Amino acid sequence: MKYHLITLGCQMNIADSERVSAVLESMGYERTEKEEEANLLGILACSVRQKPIDKVYNQIAKWNRWKNHRNLITFISGCILPADKEKFLKLFDIIFPMSELSQLPDMIRNYGVVNEASLRTPEPLMPKNKNILGLWGIKPKYHSSFEAFVPIQNGCDKFCTFCAVPYTRGREVSRPSEEILEEVSQLINKGYKSITLLGQNVNSYGLDKKGAEKSFAQLLREIGELGNRSGKEFWVYFTSPHPHDMTREVIEVIAQYDCLAKQIHLPMQSGDEKILIKMNRRHTMEKYRQIVNDIRELLPQATLFTDIIVGFTGEGEKEFQNTLAAVEEFRFNMAYIAMYSPRPGAASYRWNDDVPLEVKKERHHRLSEAMKKHTRRYNESLVGKTLRVLVTGQDRKTGFSNGLTEGKITVRLDRYVPELLGQMVDVQITSAADMSLSGELKENPVETDYHPAT
């Protein structure tokens, strides 16, 4: 028996999908990338934006047509708003929240799957605690042999007016630090090179258990110590922090440990004070500016990524100009720019979407061009330097490989060496583009001995 799983949305859904895969494969299912081969078809959905939900409807319509010709079971989970859930109940055979993943085998059995022997689930895999803590207790089936996502928190307490996450994932819950450190330690021992700590607001980690759990800075320090003791080379990232809870201490800790990657993703969303208030972002531009100043002071080599929404309700040309000025000031290495679209469940859905689509597109273009100017300048400053690069795969252009610098800048390598996949190599940068670099592998592209900072 085979299963096919489609994952939509953010990296949290990717991490959740690895636990879904672990449960299904413990039941005897084999994963297939060809949906036509599968007996079990599933989706991890994302109600945060409309586009992923549109994909869900298109996919289930096709799968339900297939049911006229063969036996199939369909399921859906992930970040789902109540309004979407009501509609999905009529379209999918099984719908469940991720907190009930441990019950999925029973749900599938209830649909009368023939091969009962394959449905015997190893007891250690399935936690008895059927809540979010139980979900984290399921050992994931990692999608990669060198890159892993480690959830440290679920939910969000910020209630930004444009966002539906508090209504799809609930309030913030911090995963026990002992579990996090154990999972990270195992990944280090297995030779993983890129580890990303995940949460809707990672730097509020532990605030729901004040006095009983570590702070985010303390958690990073513990991971840094794991890295020092291991003597191995790897990079630890985190996403996403919220400016409201970002502290100088976090930046200080990152500066102290080689394994804590010098790359910060700090969502700004808007550069205008009035719009930030309307978004309920709970931070001012002065607060954001102070964080960036701390990063530039303590982590001068760090790259800075951000998220920006254009065309939010009430954004006029003056407000947009403030965002444009912020992009010029902060010189982001990457900005994920989204055109605002109302989502049912979010507070702003009740407001008039008063910025025309054509204006949103034009502002998106202007911001993108402003960002490219700075990314090109930064990338050109790297030409001639030798950088450590994690080889991530084969380039679309035959005969080349792709990789990422510690700062998550894409690099095209001058040749394709399959055995270097997932390895750190030295690359001399030879040219720069707006969003990427090109470089030459050193003559003997093997990992060098690594000596952690003392």
Q: Which residue has the tokens 């990063």?
A: 295
Beta strand ranges found along 358-451 (DSSP E): 386-394, 401-405, 410-413, 424-432, 436-441
CATH code for the domain defined by 386-441: 2.40.50
Indicate the class that CATH gives domain 132-378.
alpha beta
pTM across the whole model: 0.87
82: CB partners within 8 A, 6+ apart: 167, 345
pLDDT at 133 over 90: no
Among 191-195, 211-215, 450-454, top mean pLDDT goes to 191-195
pLDDT digits (tens, 9 = 90+) for 141-152: 999 999 999 999
Report the pLDDT averaged over residues 338-365. Answer: 93
Q: How many angstroms separate the CA atoms of 61 and 307, rounded?
A: 33
User: Is CATH 3.90.1150.10 the right assignment for the domain spanning 2-125?
Assistant: no
pLDDT digits (tens, 9 = 90+) for 85-106: 899 999 999 999 888 888 899 8
Residue 186 token pair? 């195992």
Q: Three-state SS across 260-273? A: ECCEEECCCECCCH
CATH 3.80.30.20 residue ranges of the chain are 132-378
Which of 115-124, 156-165, 249-258, 352-361 is the least confident region? 115-124
Confidence of residue 177 (pLDDT cuts 50, 70, 90): very high
Report the pLDDT averaged over residues 301-307. Answer: 97
CATH 2.40.50 residue ranges of the chain are 386-441
pLDDT digits (tens, 9 = 90+) for 432-449: 999 999 999 986 555 444
